[in-house]
């Protein structure tokens, strides 16, 4: 895979009309039942924010508020819990149940904490690799789940490599939320786990009399959550297609750059308060779905996401920098030079319904806490 440095990167916006016509296979239905069986499970709120709809010039805006999911301040436990469940069940089915198991992961914060929590609840060990730029409080929260934490002086991509090496030890299982050739099944289960979030949105929109959304904006790191969102909306086409917008930090826009080039590329990442999105390489299994199923992609600055987090806080929604990125991205798309063309590319009109995925609360990432 080629690597692009920030100074040579083109375009902060990419759009391709008519991706909504493309379809794919749905996530398995048993995921929702598995989550519902967990003691801490409850659907997270889908909060309507009419003042944001006025600001954005659309009909209705809803925010999926993942500030408290399965006892943690981000959505990630949906993927980790299902993947750990599947991986341990498979190990038991192969008669490998003897001896201690260590669940290994690399993380920008939230995924590692979710893996560590699953391990603790199941009486297993966890070893989590944390790259530079993750706030000490976020690393301490992982250690507080009884996980061994190894901080490395490199990027997220390097932390993933270190975790993969560590997982070659006997009894170790890599629970990573990104895929590469030869390591695809477990990241695939993580993506399946995220399907519960989309299923809840369908029910909540229906209860609010809103039907299917016209636009869903997704914060993107390696693109696994976006893969789940594409899978959901492209597997069940009903009526006009929902437009799907990915939002990344300017300093870690690997999916946007890959879409612009038409092939997956790694980018050299820099610093961003959007720690969970600070990833340089798209997940190998996400890429084909993102390429074929996303309608548009945009990159935003830390200041944009900080402002969005502050505005959401003022409206009663706790949102960390990654969680607020979708609002920042939709705002950036619908304002400034070229806003009319971008609005048209997203198919938005004054009656449209927009869903923003606020994937973490402000407690998940102290870096960017408003105020
Ligand atoms: C809060 C938050 N939002 C969004 C994402 C992006 O998810 P993905 O890496 O699957 O694109 C992450 C990833 O860690 C995250 O922590």
Ligand 1 atom showing the smallest separation from residue 227 Cα:
10
Residue 166 Cα to ligand 1 middle (Å): 23
Ligand 1 atom showing the smallest separation from residue 223 Cα:
11
Ligand 1 atom showing the smallest separation from residue 255 Cα:
11
Write down the mean pLDDT value for the chain: 93
Residues 209 and 111 in one domain: no
The confidence score (pLDDT) of residue 228 equals 97
Does the pLDDT value for residue 357 go beyond 80? Answer: yes
Residue 274 lies in a domain: yes
Query: Looking at ligand 1, which residue's alpha carbon is closest to its atom 13?
Result: 276
Q: Is the CB of 224 under 6 A from ligand 1?
A: yes
Residue 341 lies in a domain: yes
Residues 225 and 353 in one domain: yes
Residue 189 lies in a domain: no
Residues 67 and 84 in one domain: no
The string of DSSP letters for 78-121 reads HHHHHHHHHHHHHHHHTT--SS--EEEEE-SSHHHHHHHHHHHH
Residues 204 and 308 in one domain: yes
Residues 239 and 339 in one domain: yes
Residues 339 and 236 in one domain: yes
Residue 59 lies in a domain: yes
Residue that finishes a domain, picked among 183, 203, 230: 183
Residue 335 lies in a domain: yes
Residues 218 and 177 in one domain: no
For 114-122, what is the mean pLDDT? 97
Give me the number of domains the chain comprises.
2
Per residue in 18-37, pLDDT tens? Answer: 655 677 888 888 999 999 99
Q: Contact 247/356 with Cβ under 8 angstroms?
A: no
Residues 127 and 39 in one domain: no
Residue that finishes a domain, picked among 131, 163, 183: 183
The confidence score (pLDDT) of residue 184 equals 97
Residue that finishes a domain, picked among 183, 218, 239: 183
The string of DSSP letters for 273-304 reads S-GGG--SS--TTTHHHHHHH--EEEEE-HHH
Residues 291 and 248 in one domain: yes
The residue range of the domain holding 119 is 77-183
Q: Is the CB of 66 under 6 A from ligand 1?
A: no
* Phi, psi of 143, deg, nearest 5: -60, -35
Does the pLDDT value for residue 369 go beyond 50? Answer: no
Q: Is the CB of 74 under 6 A from ligand 1?
A: yes
Does the pLDDT value for residue 11 go beyond 90? Answer: no
Name the pTM for this structure.
0.95
- Of 97-101, 120-124, 279-283, the poorest mean pLDDT is in 97-101
Residue 277 Cα to ligand 1 middle (Å): 6
The confidence score (pLDDT) of residue 9 equals 58
> What is the pLDDT confidence band of residue 8, given thresholds at 50, 70 and 90?
low
Residues 259 and 143 in one domain: no
Query: Looking at ligand 1, which residue's alpha carbon is closest to its atom 10?
Result: 224
Query: Looking at ligand 1, which residue's alpha carbon is closest to its atom 9?
Result: 221
Residue 188 lies in a domain: no
Residue 107 Cα to ligand 1 middle (Å): 10
The confidence score (pLDDT) of residue 93 equals 86
Residue 322 Cα to ligand 1 middle (Å): 7
Ligand 1 atom showing the smallest separation from residue 365 Cα:
1
Q: Is the CB of 277 under 6 A from ligand 1?
A: yes
Residues 121 and 32 in one domain: no
Instruction: Single out the residue of 174, 162, 58 nearest to residue 111, CA to CA.
Output: 174
> What is the pLDDT confidence band of residue 371, given thresholds at 50, 70 and 90?
very low
Query: Looking at ligand 1, which residue's alpha carbon is closest to its atom 12?
Result: 276
Residue 112 Cα to ligand 1 middle (Å): 11
Q: Contact 1/284 with Cβ under 8 angstroms?
A: no
Residue 97 Cα to ligand 1 middle (Å): 31
Catalytic residues: 76, 108
State the Cα–Cα distance between residues 23 and 33, nearest whole angstrom. Answer: 24
- The CATH number assigned to the domain holding 115 equals 3.40.50.1100
Residue 327 lies in a domain: yes
Per residue in 235-262, pLDDT tens? Answer: 876 677 899 999 999 999 999 999 999 9
3-state secondary structure of 204: helix
Q: Is the pLDDT higher at 20 or at 68? A: 68
- Of 3-7, 256-260, 360-364, the poorest mean pLDDT is in 3-7
Residue labelled with tokens 């990027």: 155
Query: Looking at ligand 1, which residue's alpha carbon is closest to its atom 15?
Result: 276
Per residue in 257-289, pLDDT tens? Answer: 999 999 999 999 989 999 999 999 999 999 999
Residues 325 and 219 in one domain: yes
Does the pLDDT value for residue 312 go beyond 60? Answer: yes
């Amino acid at each position: 895979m080629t690597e692009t440095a920030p100074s040579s990167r083109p375009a902060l916006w990419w759009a391709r009309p008519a991706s909504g016509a493309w379809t794919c296979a749905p996530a398995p239905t048993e995921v929702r039942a598995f989550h519902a069986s967990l003691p801490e499970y409850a659907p997270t709120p889908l909060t309507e924010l009419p003042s944001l709809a006025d600001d954005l010039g659309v009909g209705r805006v809803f925010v999926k508020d993942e500030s408290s999911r399965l006892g943690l301040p981000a959505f990630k436990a949906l993927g980790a819990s299902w993947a750990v469940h599947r991986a341990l069940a498979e190990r038991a089915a192969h008669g490998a149940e003897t001896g201690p198991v260590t669940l290994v992961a690399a993380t920008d914060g939230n995924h590692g904490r979710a893996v560590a929590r699953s391990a603790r609840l199941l009486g297993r060990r966890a070893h989590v690799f944390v790259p530079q730029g993750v706030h000490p409080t976020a690393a301490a929260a992982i250690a507080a789940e009884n996980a061994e934490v190894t901080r490395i002086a490199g990027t997220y991509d390097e932390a993933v490599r270190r975790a993969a090496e560590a997982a070659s030890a006997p009894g170790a299982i890599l629970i990573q939320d990104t895929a590469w050739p030869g390591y695809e099944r477990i990241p695939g289960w993580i993506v399946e786990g995220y399907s519960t979030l989309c299923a809840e949105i369908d029910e909540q929109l229906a209860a609010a009399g809103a039907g299917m959304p016209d636009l869903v904006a997704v914060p993107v790191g390696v693109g696994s959550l976006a893969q789940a969102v594409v899978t959901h909306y492209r597997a069940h086409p009903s009526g006009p297609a929902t437009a799907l917008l990915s939002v990344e930090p300017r300093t870690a826009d690997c999916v946007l750059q890959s879409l612009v080039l038409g092939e997956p590329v790694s980018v050299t990442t820099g610093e961003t308060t959007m720690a969970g999105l600070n990833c340089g390489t798209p997940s190998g299994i996400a890429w084909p779905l993102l390429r074929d199923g996303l309608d548009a992609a945009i990159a935003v600055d830390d200041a944009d996401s900080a402002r969005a987090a502050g505005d959401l806080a003022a409206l009663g929604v706790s949102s960390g920098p990654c969680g607020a990125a979708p609002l920042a991205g939709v705002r950036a798309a619908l304002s400034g030079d070229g806003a009319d063309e971008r609005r048209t590319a997203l198919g938005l009109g004054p009656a449209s319904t927009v869903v923003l995925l606020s994937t973490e609360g402000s407690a998940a990432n102290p870096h960017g806490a408003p105020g």
